[in-house]
Amino acid sequence: MAEKTINPVLKQVLELGPTLAFFLIYLRIKDDTFVVGGVEYTGFIISALIFVPILLVAMGILWAMTGKLSRMQVFTAFMVIFFGGLTAYFNDERFFKMKTSIVYGCMAALLGIGLLRGQSYLQYVMEEFLPMEQEGWMIFTRRLCLMFFALAIANEIIWRTQSTDLWVKLETFAFPAILFVFLWVQIVGLQKYLIEEPEPTDD
Which residue stretches of the chain are H helix?
Answer: 8-29, 43-66, 71-90, 94-116, 121-126, 134-161, 164-169, 175-189
Residue 61, SS3 per DSSP: helix
* CATH class of the domain at 1-92: mainly alpha
Mean pLDDT of 119-128: 86
Check residue 155 and give its pLDDT.
97
Q: What is the pTM of this model?
A: 0.86
Mean pLDDT lowest for which of 47-56, 94-103, 128-137, 174-183? 128-137
What residues does each domain of the chain span?
1-92, 101-195
**Average pLDDT over every residue of 177-183:** 95
Instruction: Return the bridge partners of 35, or none.
Output: 40
Give the chain's mean pLDDT.
90
Q: What is the distance of C-alpha 143 from the center of its chain?
A: 17
Phi, psi at 160, each rounded to 5°: -85, -20
Q: Does pLDDT of 122 surpass 60?
A: yes
Kind and range of the H or E run holding 42: strand 39-42
**74-88 mean pLDDT:** 91
